[in-house]
Structure 1
Amino acid sequence: MDKYLALSQQTCSWLLSQRPVLTALYQSLSEDNLNALAKAEFVAGPFRMAGAIDGRLIAGWNREYLSGTGNENWGIIRLTGTFGLLELKEISQQVFERQIYLFNQRLQGLIVDGDFIHRTWPNGSQTCLAGRGNEARQNSVCYFEGGPGYGGLNARALICIGPGYDFDQLQKSIQSEMPRLAELAALADGLVDIKRRPLLDSPSLQPLRSALVVGQQASLQFDKVKLSAEFHPSQSNISSYETVHWSYEHWIASGSLNDSQRRVLESDVLLKHPVRVIGPAGSGKTLLMQLLAMRHLKAAQEQSDKIKILYVVHNAPMATSVSDRFRVLGGEEFLTSSNQSLKITTLADYGRQVTGLTEDMIIDKDAHETKQFQLTQVRKSLREALSANSARIDQSPLLKQVTENDSLFAVFSALVVAEISNAIKGRGLVDDEKRYVHSETSLSRLHGVLNVNERSVIYDCFRRYHTAIFEEFELLDSDDVAITLVGRLRTPLWDLKRKKEGFDYIFVDEAQLFNENERRIFAYLSNAHTKHVPIALALDEAQDIFGFSSAGLATLGIKDVENESLPSNHRSTKEIVDLAFHVIQQTTDLFSSDFPDFETIEQAMVPSNHQLAKRPAIIRCSDDQPNFGRFVVKQVQKMRASNVRQIAVVCHAELYWSDLVDAFKASGLPLHIIEQRGEKIVPDQPLVVLSRPSFIGGQEFDAVLSVGLEQGVVPPRIVDNATLAAAVEQQVLREIYLAITRARYRFAIMLNKAALPNSIVEDAMLARLIDQA
């Protein structure tokens, strides 16, 4: 069986600028590694490699350059067999470099250098010289290109064979490869979205791993750094409540930060490259961001230098919370200073200021309220579109299910919001239904799984939504503001003004909450005094609850970003952490070498023998309970009686929300219903919190009860569309992870009468990570 290597076009472009990586990648193409990747994956920095189960294809990609559409432009190399790359070892490295060059040029529609003696043949194939050396120039490579629509392709693809010197034989051989092009490209797309596999740590791959580190974290002596911004319980007897009042100097002077953490805080890492601070819930991403910002402000103050720092958050409550924290850290003077300036803002506020929009032109000055209003209007418009397109609905098993299943409708409408934002508005198709409906190229992951009739319904939904917002209410939504702002920042005028009005450093907190249109803005906010974007982004990708992944940061203009990991989880028992990571490891490409196996880090966790701690459990509503909401209230009352002070009830299923609200309001318990992410909750008072998963991030509680994780409810059943079903499952996995990681001592799942746990919970039961109470 012949073996193939697929590389995405953007990855090829990146490889051509990283010659040591390109050489090491070629050297890694051994038979043993190719076979091993069929069951494992290689991860180093942003680069990934994984293989098909049958061992036929290996795909490689830089995750920062993924398009987010689910269909990349692939260049495919035949590695073995007649005219395989590895058959002529003496010149194969030169040939490999030539093939990477061809992929980068042709997949962008660029011409091949005339010195390479390019020729086109009657069967549609093309040839050029195989390399730059004397022997390589005696051989040629032969390739064939396919575009969207060819054999079922959804994007451009190219397959290449060689080296060889007989043009007739090369054409004959490429003829047999042409029918395989679409199949191999689809296989490569599928490998990007595989669930996590064991990491391949073969010694023969060490040169590639080293090449991917050289000039990056290793050069900064960060290769052994495990960032953890909060104190380490095993090193300190200070409680987390006491640290709330610590100043910047207190954090730096105390024994709560280890040598590695201090080295990061005292470095000039942002002068060298963008930084993405990654880590699980509770790892201290926000605190580290704030300490880094304070460090730069104080350093500039000591040198009497001017500095402007922008700290971006998602909504108004988060802005208030961050401002309060900076005041505690001792940064209040920077909030008003013109010399060392710290501007804390939501992206919506900043966009409104720069574009000159008044409050009466936008839905709401708070981004959260705006997006909730958008979701409400999209749901209304989607219902109208489904009713008005009954003939199309009858021909679509998917939309028929969406119409009939309220749980699926709630999930699908959230995906439609993202579709309107990214695929329609983000691509400028507001007045171009034909391009959206009939595009052969996938404009998004959802777009790629819909047929023409289904896309027509989605566009009808968009038209109704746009009419309501733009013409009836005469308002701009958050995407309109973001797109307007990007348009303003992409002008020569801003290129001139940004030197004075741009920022020296940009910090973006909870970056996973911003969509693609909003993330595109960040690359334009600096003052351009450095070649790179001096930005630090804090994110937990597992808290991005939408299963359809977005484009990589490099695709959005932030290139050469480096990851700094925060592996410690301070707030939960080991049993809760084990369950959380069992869940999130089932997602696609979230945890790898960037997110190590934290199950072994016990010293920084809540002790399992704590008097309030219990193993995660499933609690089923008994037959004698007249009402499920009342049953959940009773479980909360039992916990409160055992001195569990702060309890969160997370409702994953809309069908239970009203019942829970009514039951808790009638109970007389001290209730707080979270309406948006980032709301302040008093940390030391007894309280019951009711929330949806999307609003619970950033909080922590003594106990968390999850409601609605039942078979057929969450995730809802989707028939005849495996891709969409998998994406919805990804969303649910993130929601469950988010709920679990809010709990310090206890996590439980509430099941209604006769309900069965969903497959995710069943898997955890089989792994003995959750008990039946």
Structure 2
Amino acid sequence: MTDYLAITQHTCSWLLAHPAVMSAIYESVSSGDIESLMKGEFSAGPLRMAGTPDGKVVSVWNKEYLSGTGHEAWGIIRLSGSFGLLNAPAIGSQVFERQIYVFNQRLQSLIIDGDFIHRTWPNGSQTCLAGRGTEARQFSISYFEAGPGFGSLSAKAIIAIGPAHDFDDLQRAISLEVKQLIPLALAADGTVDTRRRPLIEAPAFQALRTALSPSQQQEFKFDKVNVNANFRSTGSAIAPHETAFWTYEDWIVNGALNEAQRLVLESDVLLRHPVRVIGPAGSGKTLLMQLLAVKHLRRAYDGSESVKVLYIVHNTAMAQTVYDKFRTLGAEDFVTNPNQNIKITTLSELGRQMSGLTETMVIDKDAQQTKLFQLDQVRSALRSVLDENDDKVLSSNLMSQVAQDEDLFNVFSSLIVSEISNAIKGRGLTENERAYVNAETPLSRLHGVLTTTERQIIFACFKRYHASVFEKFEMLDSDDIALTLAGRLRTPLWQLKRKVEGYDFIFVDEAQLFNENERRLFPYLANAKVAHTPIALALDEAQDLYAFSSAGLATLGIADIEDKNLPSNHRSTREIVDLAFFIIQQTTDLFSNDFPDFKSIEEGMVSSSHQQAAYPAIMACNDEQPSFGRFVVKQVQKLRASNVRQIAVVCHAETYWKEMQEFFTASGLPLHVLQQRGEKIAPDQPMVILSRPAYVGGQEFDAVISIGLEQGVVPPRIVDNVALASAVEQQVLREMYLVATRARYRYLALLNKTALPNQILQGALSESKIQVVNVGA
């Protein structure tokens, strides 16, 4: 029997606003069918329930309200035994409601209503009335609170027992439960951070599913949806190049949209709730966003109504690409029309304009170029700090490895960029080193796995970076712009002006490229004429290469987004898709029941019998090759001789970047080096594209060659910090997934002499998702 039920604080708050869902959860718990959650997961809308393998704890959380730090604030209910919730079925639902209320209040350090006869006892426990009914008021519940600093707790937690009559009995019983609090909270955190589990369809959960699907959704089929876009109807033979110059009308009338997308376009979903367009790489998320934007512009034009649409992209190249697409769709006039207007911009440029900053005050108008500059400055700062703090470096195994291993140094630098953005600047700690270094509650996933000495090095790196950018160059980075704009948008003045200057609809393309500071801005940009945020986000978390884990959208101000998954993939052979599916299966924070199952994808795939198709392969440089760079060039030449026209060479390891650049430049092959995400590449031109993983998003190639996926190189070896090693591996898995899904016909992983494939590739080998091919075969 399940002994404990754990619920996050934000979920408690959400349940109090959704009493039907709370009641249905209690019914599911009391039915006993939650026993099945030790082997699977309940998933409906934003709600998730899962159990520990031993069945001792079942956790409940709303995925949109997760903190992203890896440690949630848990309220834990004793279910079994004489002091368990299920021991009093006659008043159980009322007691459950009271426990949820107590968790929500106390985990936020709010007082309990005086009418509930709250008392504090000498052993540190507290009691209050067990419920609001006549019978329930004859009983009490007892609970014990703890926070960071209590043992190994990293966040606040509460454990509750009851109902019971006798206060002395409750005190004795709660004293026995206190020692369980820490392991129970850690176990609950672990259930959130687990790879995909089988979905549970037990009959007892049907009432809960119904409660999570409000009656109004029956009338409006696409109310509060996430859409995974697939733009071909079954059996469609329309090739991508045939649709390149289609207008909005062409997309609507030519049958290239499947039923789900057509219904979304014909509905008024954005008038009711936010939309998250989710899907794997190549599923057409951006096109659906653009069609939705054009639809609302045309409707306003036809009705002689004013409308303001904001379309946000990550960099200048993407902004130009999107503008060109809107022009193709026949929406060019809306760019200059003051009454029905669409503004296509980067968030960085929008922030600069709205904050009144001059161009000389920012690093670059292009957000991506700004972030590249940030990374370079952080690398320089980190190297200086490591060189100047030998004693601290030597006292830390992690920092010693970072100082000595160039590949680990580069990966760690990327993590520090995110740490500076989210944990230091985002939490207002730029002038408070002590609060960052000594924080008991993890400020981020990285922060939670670092010692105080390592945090001191991180903060010293931040100070060196800040002195360089802010004081030496006297410029603002992308986070400074976002935080400056956030300060402006949170003022009473903006509250007055936003109904005129805000936007009716907001579209955010590739939202995974924006950090938490930037995502928090989106709700404030709406004109607040409706209760919800009328925003559509195209999102693929698997392409967010540098994040540990992001906070849920609801914690950032965008609530009421629910899921509807319609998985698709258009560009690759079944063998490449299977390899990508295997790779993403290994992730803990991505491969959940929300992630599309590639095994179900059939339509739109490249045939495995295509003359250019080949099984994914690993190939190692042998002793006969004069150098690794020459070996890679030779393999590209062989592919070109086989009429493979566009070949991407993706360098996962900085160690090999300079060598690849030199050999391909000297080879005489038509070479294009990708400098940023979203660059235009002529689809009909045979060429070799050299790139880092971060820049290949949104591209398609006939063949993709991965460089550097070797043991000890990618991911770099990290000793004595299992949590960080795991997190870095998650980043590599995202990179490998993204890169593999760029390939239409062939995927190759090339290894240097004597190198072995990394553990991820070895796992794929053992599962026959990739094969070893000898040179010359």
> What residue in structure 2 maps to residue 706 of structure 1?
706
Matched, 1:363 2:374: no
- Match for residue 424 of structure 1? 424
Match of 1:744 in 2: 744
Amino acid at match of 2:107: L
CA displacement 1:150-191 (0-9 Å, x = unmatched): 122111111100111111011001111112212211221222
How is 1:309-458 mapped onto 2 (pairs within 5 angstroms)? 309-458=309-458
- Cα displacement (A) at 1:218: 4.6
Structure 1 residue 473: Cα displacement:
0.6
* Aligned-partner Cα distance in 1 for 2:691–2:217: 39
Describe how 1:79-158 pairs up with structure 2 within 5 A.
79-158=79-158
Matched with 1:620 is 620
Per the alignment, do residues 223 and 420 of structure 1 end up closer, same or farther by CA in structure 2, a change over 3 Å counting? closer
Tell me which moved more, 578-587 or 515-524: 578-587
Measured in 2, the distance between the counterparts of 1:524 and 1:406 equals: 41
What is the DSSP-based 3-state SS (H/G/I as helix, E as strand, rest coil) of the residue aligned with 1:530? coil
Distance in structure 2 (CA, Å) of the matches to 1:346 and 1:357:
15
- 8 Å CA contact 1:702–1:745 kept in 2: the answer is yes
- Which residue matches 1:246? 246
Distance in 2 between residues matched to 1:356 and 1:177, nearest whole Å: 57
Q: Contact (CA 8 Å) 1:2, 1:78: kept in 2 or not?
A: no
The 10-residue stretch of structure 1 (256-265 or 245-254) with the greater mean CA deviation from structure 2: 256-265
How far apart in 2 are the matches of 1:285 and 1:470?
Answer: 37
How much has 1:123 moved relative to structure 2? 0.5
Give distance in 1, aligned partners of 2:749 and 2:255. 39
- Counterpart AA for 1:254: N
Segments of structure 2 that go 5 or more residues without pairing to the other structure are none
Measure how far apart 1:215 and its partner are.
5.1
Number of the residue aligned with 1:689: 689
C-alpha distance in 2 between matches for 1:305 and 1:43: 41
Aligned equivalents of 2:594 and 2:169: distance in 1? 46
**Counterpart-to-counterpart distance in 2, 1:211 and 1:619:** 53
Larger deviation, residues 1-10 vs 348-357: 1-10
Q: Structure 1 residues 250-259 or 675-684, which shifts more?
A: 250-259
Which stretch shifts more, 1-10 or 394-403? 1-10
1:717 corresponds to: 717
| DSSP-derived class of the 2:553 partner | coil
Contact kept? 2:224, 2:269, Cα under 8 Å: no
What is the correspondence of 1:213-232 to structure 2 with a 5 Å cutoff?
A: 213-214=213-214, 218-222=218-222, 229=229, 231-232=231-232
Whole-Å separation in 2 of the counterparts to 1:270 and 1:168? 55
- Compare 38-47 and 450-459 and name the one that shifted more: 38-47
Equivalent residue of 2:524, what SS? coil
Counterparts of 2:2 and 2:612, CA distance in 1: 59
Residue 460 of structure 2: aligned partner: 460
Write the letter of the residue equivalent to 1:601.
Answer: I
- 2: CA distance, partners of 1:217 / 1:743: 39
Partner of 1:284: 284
Q: CA-to-partner distance for each residue in 1:193-213, whole Å, 9 max, x for gaps? A: 112222222222222222222
* Aligned residue runs from structure 1 range 544-583, under 5 A: 544-583=544-583
- Preserved contact between residue 511 and residue 538 of structure 2 (Cα < 8 Å): yes
Q: Structure 1 31/317 Cα, relative in aligned 2: closer, same or farther at 3 Å?
A: same
Cα 1:371–1:250 change in 2 (3 A) is: same
* Matched residue, 2:518: 518
Match for residue 731 of structure 1?
Answer: 731
Q: Is residue 499–residue 529 contact of structure 2 (8 Å, CA) maintained in 1?
A: yes
Aligned sequence identity (%): 64
CA contact under 8 A between 1:196 and 1:586: conserved in structure 2? Answer: no
Aligned to 1:183: 183
Structure 1 position 233, deviation (Å): 7.2
Deviations 1:327-384 (A, max 9, x none): 0000000000001000000001100100010011111111111000000000111111
Q: Which whole-Å CA distance do the structure 2 matches of 1:600 and 1:205 have between them?
A: 25
Partner of 2:556: helix, strand, or coil?
A: coil
Q: Match for residue 660 of structure 1?
A: 660
Residue 118 of structure 2 aligns to which amino acid in structure 1?
H
Q: Is the 8 A contact 2:223 2:272 kept in 1?
A: no
Q: Aligned equivalents of 2:644 and 2:357: distance in 1? A: 48
- Offset at residue 565 of structure 1 (A): 3.3
Confirm whether residue 669 of structure 1 aligns to residue 669 of structure 2.
yes
Tell whether the 8 Å contact from 1:579 to 1:769 is kept in structure 2 after alignment: yes
1:509-564 Cα offsets, whole Å, 9 max, x none, are 00000001100100100110000000000011111112510111111111112334
The answer on whether the counterparts of 1:275 and 1:564 sit within 8 Å (CA) in structure 2 is no
Q: What letter matches 1:265 in structure 2?
A: L
Contact 2:195 2:592 in 1 (8 A): no
Aligned to 1:603: 603
Residue range with higher mean Cα deviation, 641-650 or 189-198: 189-198
Q: Could you say what secondary structure the match of 1:538 adopts?
A: strand
Supply the distance in 2 between the matched residues of 1:225 and 1:354 (Cα, whole angstroms).
31
Q: Distance in 2 between matches of 1:181 and 1:234?
A: 53
Tell me the equivalent position of 1:493.
Answer: 493
CA distance in 1, matches of 2:225, 2:429: 45
> How far is 1:755 from its partner?
1.1
Give the structure 1 partner of residue 641 of structure 2.
641
Is contact 2:224–2:561 with CA below 8 Å preserved after alignment?
no
For 1:508 and 1:431, locate their aligned partners in 2 and report how far apart those are by CA, in whole Å. Answer: 32
> For the residues of structure 2 that align with 1:231 and 1:422, how far apart are their CA atoms?
36
Q: Name the residue aligned to 2:21.
A: 21
- Greater alpha carbon shift after TM alignment, 322-331 vs 428-437: 428-437
What one-letter code is carried by the residue in structure 2 that aligns with 1:138? Answer: Q
* Counterpart residue number, 1:60: 60
Give the aligned residue type for 1:513: L
* Amino acid in structure 2 at the alignment position of 1:640: R
* 1:35 Cα offset (Å): 3.0
Q: Is the 8 A contact 2:636 2:647 kept in 1?
A: yes
CA shift at 1:588, angstroms? Answer: 2.2
Check whether the contact 1:196–1:589 (CA below 8 A) recurs between aligned residues: no
Equivalent AA in structure 2 for residue 674 of structure 1: L
1:736 aligned partner, one-letter code: M
Letter in 2 for 1:340: Q
Contact 1:2–1:81 (Cα < 8 Å) also in 2:
no
| Aligned counterparts of 1:623 and 1:222: Cα–Cα separation in 2 | 60
CA deviations over 1:561-607 (Å, ceiling 9, x no partner): 23343411111111111111111122124244433322222122111
State the alpha-carbon separation in 1 of the partners of residues 318 and 679 from structure 2. 7
Q: Name stretches of at least 5 consecutive residues in structure 1 with no aligned partner.
A: none
Tell me: CA distance 1:105–1:655, structure 2 relative to 1, closer, same or farther (3 Å). Answer: same
Supply the AA of the counterpart residue of 2:510.
E
Aligned residue for 1:152, secondary structure, equals coil
CA distance in 2, matches of 1:170, 1:750: 65
Q: In 2, are the aligned partners of 1:502 and 1:527 still within 8 Å (CA)?
A: yes
Partner of residue 470, structure 2: 470
Q: Specify the alignment match of 1:172 in structure 2.
A: 172
What's the secondary structure of 2:158's corresponding residue?
strand
Distance 1:194 1:231, change over 3 A: closer
1:606-659 Cα deviation digits (max 9, x unpaired): 111111111111111122011111111111111111111111111111111111
> What is the CA–CA distance in structure 2 between the aligned matches of 1:149 and 1:617, rounded to whole Å?
50
What are the superposed Cα offsets for residues 375-421 of structure 1, whole Å, 9 maximum, x if unpaired? Answer: 00001111111122211111111111111111111111111111111
1:277–1:565 CA contact under 8 A, matched in 2: no
Q: For the residues of structure 2 that align with 1:634 and 1:415, how far apart are their CA atoms?
A: 35
Task: Indicate if the aligned counterparts of 2:227 and 2:278 stay in contact, CA closer than 8 A.
Answer: no
Counterpart position of 2:767: 767
Q: Distance between the aligned counterparts of 1:725 and 1:215, measured in 2?
A: 46
Output one character per residue of 1:116-154: Cα deviation in whole Å (capped at 9) or x when no partner: 111111111000111112221111110001121012211
Q: After superposition, give the CA deviation of every residue in 1:242-295 in whole Å (9 maximum; x if it has no partner).
A: 211000000001011233321110110001111100000111000000000000
Contact 2:647 2:701 in 1 (8 A): yes
Letter of the structure 2 residue corresponding to residue 760 of structure 1:
I
Structure 2 residue aligned with 1:586? 586
Q: 1:36 is matched with which residue? A: 36
Q: Which moved more, 1:118-127 or 1:210-219?
A: 210-219
